[in-house]
Structure 1
């Protein structure tokens, strides 16, 4: 999947890591690699150059990786760009946040060139919210999650008996590699599949353990491999030099097998935990993709019956010979079907709003006409409750029409949620009043009895919060507030305990 024409953008504030990532990409066949020191620089590159894949660190000054991801997903031209997030320290909540923002793949440091290759293949196959295009030349198994592997241990010693002894201690639990000199060990450590831990003898001909450790620390793909020195040297200065070169432990010769085994097990347990964490994040990402695909299929399946109902309503209207009341009901059915079709499409916008990727393209929306139409429909829907639903205008004239700046579909869903919430909460034979006013903004006040209970008021706009409604989803007021703020407006709860009234105050820009 990586071709000579694939353009990569590597984003990291550390010059060393930019070089490491670029080096690994070159070894995978990449020929066009651009770099940036933070998200702001990356956006400047994306404006000027065509890029096929972004590989970005999470923690950066000026603009971090998560903000960059949201900017990319919010740009229609870049929205489907594969985006791989690289992180050393992230909580499950942060990973969930990145997945919600539309990350293509997540890579935990430290990682190998092989790990990077697998994430690139998956990221390029699973472009967010765009059709997945099958690539014939890539084997199908490469896009599957990697199978669990045993940690790899490299034993380096110029004495064959020592190699056999140490390798024998671990061969049942780990994948064990052996090298008899520093040059052979360096070749293994700088390959596409470096070991997870090195057991390194200090005294070796040609290249001793210290010299090998120095080479490893200066090599991009081998610098993070932990090293345990095995030595007969007891000189404190030698141990200090080893620590300066990044040694995580020292083991004295002659080797105590039990002590060495415990030290290696403890260190490799951290490696296994890192591998398990990477697998967990991969699974979380895959589950989110499955959820999105299921949501997309559901929206598709909902549209067909709604279109059929809409067609039947229009056919009956065109057939004539209807009573005025029948015509009114069919027109209401036609309008509601059109609204439902719009709301099916709205589901995708809601997800973008929640993840900060929604881009508002404001237009003039006639709120008064929309409110009147919704109230006409609500009177039919809730006629069994005997509600009085009235619309009142204030401070409006021909020169100051009640037009808001927003998105018509978002406004419709927002107002529909508010009216539905008020009508469902209102007691039978009570009044629901909608007041619209034109001041420095367009203001709408929705009033109904009874007052929201005091204990529920702090949670009124929370997602999934519901009070006293059988089967209530708790999404109506949550999504209404979300839609108001997405249009640069506000929605507030006001309660009048003396009058036993609930008021929702909506403000939208003129």
Structure 2
């Protein structure tokens, strides 16, 4: 099988020497043609000007010219072709990660990382190089990536003293999956298997291969360089402690070890490792959200273009039929409806960029919900006709007041109705129901057809697929966010007996 990486040249930009060397080793092991190294953004620009670079892997924070500034330089340089850009960082703050993704990075990898995660993300960056900023139509959905972690958190205890091994085993086994090794050689062999340990408790003084030498070997191998190591040693000299930390140990305990202290320190490191894994998954979710917002905005923009085309064609038809009053009135009505539809689309697009960040200035007021629903139905008339859908209106009254944010409610019902249009079978009847209850008004869309249980379960989730229904489902997710902002209750139910029902309860005061 041909190596998928051997035709690419990659540039690693990292200010920390040993981290830069580790990343370079990983890339070389993956089979990249050439791996160049730069210690900062300024040096990276020099490489980009003198070498053919196919991929940039950069730390976010650099001593000179940070990662995002380097990315901006590449994007602005007309002489440099678009290059996939991967950020590696220990920073997981949501706003900064989102800023990096929206700036156009291809992937964001949280330090420290496993070789498998690193390889998968690098491969994804090359296959889907410009996830947000460039070539947006070519993006595939970003899958949630787990860290391939075992069912229980795994700890490898390495000590040549059988009593120490057994006592640590007794202490840790109730909460962790514990493996014991009596020597550095045995421990290294264990670390070559899959899955590798999540954490190693390592004695320094051992025959054959001591702890310092073992840690050095682990850090030299891409598959094991990410493993957190806690040194356990009878040596309490400053030299030994400093040496351990220089090699990448995360902690150092001097024997004799207090069981409670060890348990607490292990627990803290386990939580840190799990937090890093969760951070990678959260970053995937940020990618997913930004991607879906963009996809849904593109869908709305296409609808907007269609309405503009319709209005332009109608204007031409008026010129041709200027002396036929009836036809002019009909065409004028089409233009008026198209204009209203455009306004609603623009409202939804504007809402899209505010509701998910919870920054929409909500100003509730009383309004006639029947008039609003009828307006939504009118502006979606073309879509209804295209799918040959009939609407049946069941209203308790023509003047039913609710207390909510008018513009948000308009956007919410618009995307709810669009969802129902796209999920109803062609030729079906869509019921539009507005009913008063004791303290609220229920607005419901219903038909006699059932949708899949999985579709019903995922309807309000962000995760979706590359499809028309996926984009419409994101609209329903947007509707749920609008409902959440207004503290409204939105529901979707479906079964083979009563069909599908999508409704929201709105207060009257």
Relative to the length of structure 1, the TM-score reads 0.54
- What are the equivalent positions in structure 2 for 1:358-397 lying under 5 Å apart? none
Name which of 135, 138, 141 aligns with 1:132. Answer: 138
- Structure 2 vs 1, CA of residues 201 and 19 (structure 1 numbering), >3 Å: closer, same or farther? closer
Deviation per CA, 1:54-108: give whole Å up to 9, x if none. Answer: 2111112332101122333445786864321111235332222212212222112
- For 1:80 and 1:72, the matched residues in 2 are separated by 7
Q: Shift in Å at residue 6 of structure 1?
A: 2.9
3-state DSSP of counterpart to 2:122: helix
1:228: which partner in 2?
A: 230
Q: Shift in Å at residue 189 of structure 1?
A: 5.3
Name which of 291, 295, 301 aligns with 2:303. Answer: 301
1:244: which partner in 2?
A: 243
- For 1:287 and 1:312, the matched residues in 2 are separated by 37
Deviation per CA, 1:8-28: give whole Å up to 9, x if none. Answer: 222223343332111111222
- What are the equivalent positions in structure 2 for 1:260-299 lying under 5 Å apart? 260-299=262-301
- For 2:230 and 2:309, the matched residues in 1 are separated by 69
- Asked if the contact 2:158–2:181 (Cα under 8 Å) also holds between the matched residues in 1, the reply is yes
1:84: which partner in 2?
A: 86
Q: Shift in Å at residue 164 of structure 1?
A: 5.0
- For 2:231 and 2:23, the matched residues in 1 are separated by 28
- For 1:143 and 1:53, the matched residues in 2 are separated by 21
Name which of 59, 68, 91 aligns with 1:66. Answer: 68
3-state DSSP of counterpart to 1:245: helix
Please, which runs of 5 or more residues in structure 2 have no aligned partner? 354-404, 410-509
- What are the equivalent positions in structure 2 for 1:62-461 lying under 5 Å apart? 62-74=64-76, 81-89=83-91, 91-126=93-128, 127-128=130-131, 129-130=134-135, 131-132=137-138, 143-146=143-146, 149=149, 151-159=153-161, 162-187=164-189, 195-213=197-215, 215-216=217-218, 225-231=227-233, 233=234, 236-237=236-237, 240-246=239-245, 248-253=251-256, 257-321=259-323
- For 1:69 and 1:56, the matched residues in 2 are separated by 9
- Structure 2 vs 1, CA of residues 13 and 287 (structure 1 numbering), >3 Å: closer, same or farther? same
Please, which runs of 5 or more residues in structure 1 have no aligned partner? 135-139, 352-468, 474-510
2:57: which partner in 1?
A: 55
3-state DSSP of counterpart to 1:155: strand
- For 2:26 and 2:301, the matched residues in 1 are separated by 41
3-state DSSP of counterpart to 1:204: coil
- Asked if the contact 1:198–1:226 (Cα under 8 Å) also holds between the matched residues in 2, the reply is yes
- Asked if the contact 2:68–2:100 (Cα under 8 Å) also holds between the matched residues in 1, the reply is yes
- For 1:30 and 1:175, the matched residues in 2 are separated by 36
Greater shift in the superposed pair: 292-301 or 12-21: 12-21
- For 2:301 and 2:196, the matched residues in 1 are separated by 46
- Asked if the contact 2:88–2:110 (Cα under 8 Å) also holds between the matched residues in 1, the reply is yes
3-state DSSP of counterpart to 2:138: coil
Greater shift in the superposed pair: 105-114 or 277-286: 277-286
- Structure 2 vs 1, CA of residues 216 and 2 (structure 1 numbering), >3 Å: closer, same or farther? same
Q: Shift in Å at residue 222 of structure 1?
A: 5.7
- Asked if the contact 1:197–1:225 (Cα under 8 Å) also holds between the matched residues in 2, the reply is yes
Deviation per CA, 1:153-197: give whole Å up to 9, x if none. Answer: 221123566545534543453343443321333455578865443
- For 1:271 and 1:5, the matched residues in 2 are separated by 34
1:9: which partner in 2?
A: 11
- For 2:35 and 2:58, the matched residues in 1 are separated by 13
- For 2:31 and 2:220, the matched residues in 1 are separated by 22
- Asked if the contact 1:4–1:29 (Cα under 8 Å) also holds between the matched residues in 2, the reply is yes
- Structure 2 vs 1, CA of residues 61 and 191 (structure 1 numbering), >3 Å: closer, same or farther? farther
- Asked if the contact 2:146–2:277 (Cα under 8 Å) also holds between the matched residues in 1, the reply is no
**Greater gyration radius:** 1
Q: Shift in Å at residue 282 of structure 1?
A: 2.4
3-state DSSP of counterpart to 1:281: helix
- For 2:28 and 2:87, the matched residues in 1 are separated by 19
Deviation per CA, 1:200-251: give whole Å up to 9, x if none. Answer: 12342212234434555677776665433334x3x643x6523432252225
2:439: which partner in 1?
A: none
- Structure 2 vs 1, CA of residues 143 and 89 (structure 1 numbering), >3 Å: closer, same or farther? closer
Q: Shift in Å at residue 113 of structure 1?
A: 1.3
Deviation per CA, 1:99-154: give whole Å up to 9, x if none. Answer: 221222211212221121122233334433424377xxxxx9x9542167354422
- For 2:27 and 2:177, the matched residues in 1 are separated by 26
- For 1:92 and 1:143, the matched residues in 2 are separated by 19
- For 1:98 and 1:125, the matched residues in 2 are separated by 19
- Asked if the contact 1:20–1:221 (Cα under 8 Å) also holds between the matched residues in 2, the reply is no
